[in-house]
């Protein structure tokens, strides 16, 4: 992973997603105000959009995996306690 823990990595991935979203906003604003040309915009917009989508997808997948792992741990703990008292 990219962080010290899954939780930290998720946090950094979420920040990356928000930064990509902000980059897209600024690119659109720069294009609409003619600060950059359409060709300049096109040269970086597709990549920014791809980063935006990938960070969101990776965040959702990792979060789902963490939730599933937590459910498994809870179920295992419950089963162990049942065996102790059973």
The 10s digit of each residue's pLDDT in 16-60 is 999 999 999 999 999 999 999 999 999 999 999 999 999 999 888
Q: Based on the structure, what is the number of domains in the chain?
A: 1
| 22 falls within a domain | yes
| 80 falls within a domain | yes
Under the banding of pLDDT at 50, 70 and 90, the label for residue 2 is very low
| 63 falls within a domain | yes
- Compute the mean pLDDT over every residue in the chain, rounded to the nearest whole number: 84
Structure tokens at 6: 């899954």
Q: What is the CATH number of the domain that holds 65?
A: 1.20.1440.60
What is the extent of the structural domain holding 80? 6-85
Please check the confidence at residue 73 and state whether its pLDDT lies above 80: no
| 1 falls within a domain | no
* Residues 72 and 26: beta-carbon distance below 8 Å: no
- Say what the pLDDT of residue 72 is: 75
- DSSP string computed for 6-37: HHHHHHHHHHHHHHHHHHHHHHHHHHHTTSS-
Overall pTM > 0.95: no
Burial group, residue 13, by CB count within 10 angstroms (0-12, 13-18, 19+): buried
| 75 falls within a domain | yes
């Amino acid at each position: 992973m990219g962080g010290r823990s899954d939780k930290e990595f998720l946090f950094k991935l979420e920040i990356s997603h928000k930064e990509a979203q902000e980059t897209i906003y600024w690119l659109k604003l720069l294009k609409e105000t003619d600060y950059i040309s359409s060709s300049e915009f096109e040269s970086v917009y597709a990549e920014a959009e791809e980063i935006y989508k990938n960070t969101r997808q990776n965040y959702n997948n990792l979060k789902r995996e963490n939730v599933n792992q937590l459910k498994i741990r809870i179920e295992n703990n419950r089963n162990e306690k049942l065996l102790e008292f059973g």
